[in-house]
Amino acid sequence: MSQNNAFRALDRQECLRLLAKVPVGRVVYTRQALPAVLPVNFSLDMDASVLLRTSAGSDLVRAVDGVVVAFEADEIHAATESGWSVVVTGRAQVITDPVEHERLSRTGPRSWMPVRDAVFIRIEAEMVTGREITGTPGQG
């Protein structure tokens, strides 16, 4: 899709503004040497990092703590073949600082699921890329 007129690259600020509009994204990581992806609800922290909440003993924590992951969110309208997609790439880390944990317990994302021994995972927004799909019906 390299010479595609129908894409527009989004700058970091546009990406973060769009990310803040949606409640759910997808963590992309490696599990047992295979590509893996998991939809999760999230929120953005003040420094634009992505925050997730899950169980301390979850597979997700085991797989992503300390490694670089991607986090994707999008809104795509099939009828008009238009929309946007944003990807945050950066190191994921379980938050171990009790003060930070306490702050996020008040202000961070809650989980949609029952969670035992809740922990927060922060994905640093080291690289933020996105694109708008402007839609060119009739082509392709």
Q: How far is the CB of 100 from a copy of itself (least distance, A)?
A: 20
Cα–Cα distance, 106 to 108 (Å, whole number): 6
The reply to whether 60 sits near a copy of itself by the rule CB under 8 A is yes
**Residue in 58, 63, 93, 103 binding a copy of itself, rule: CB under 8 A:** 58
Does residue number 114 form part of the binding site for a copy of itself (CB under 8 A)? Answer: yes
Stretch that binds a copy of itself, among 5-13, 43-51, 97-105 (CB under 8 A): 5-13
* Minimal distance, residue 118 CB to a copy of itself, in Å: 8
Instruction: Map the footprint of a copy of itself across residues 12-31, applying CB under 8 A.
Output: 23-24, 26, 28-30
Residue type at position 23: P
DSSP structure string for 74-113: EEEETTTTEEEEEEEEEEEEE---HHHHHHHHHHSPPPSS
For 83, residues 6+ apart whose C-beta sits below 8 A from its C-beta are 74, 75, 76, 77, 132, 133
CA quadruple 81, 44, 127, 93: dihedral positive or negative? negative
First CA to last CA across the chain, in angstroms?
Answer: 11
Minimum separation from the CB atom of position 102 to a copy of itself (A): 17
110 binds a copy of itself (CB under 8 A): yes
Count of positions on this chain that bind a copy of itself (CB under 8 A) = 50
The conformation of residue 40, written as its DSSP 8-state character, comes to: E
Q: Convert residues 62-81 into a mask of x (bound to a copy of itself by CB under 8 A) and - (unbound).
A: ------xxx-x-x-x-x--x
Question: Closer to a copy of itself at the Cβ: 6 or 51?
Answer: 6
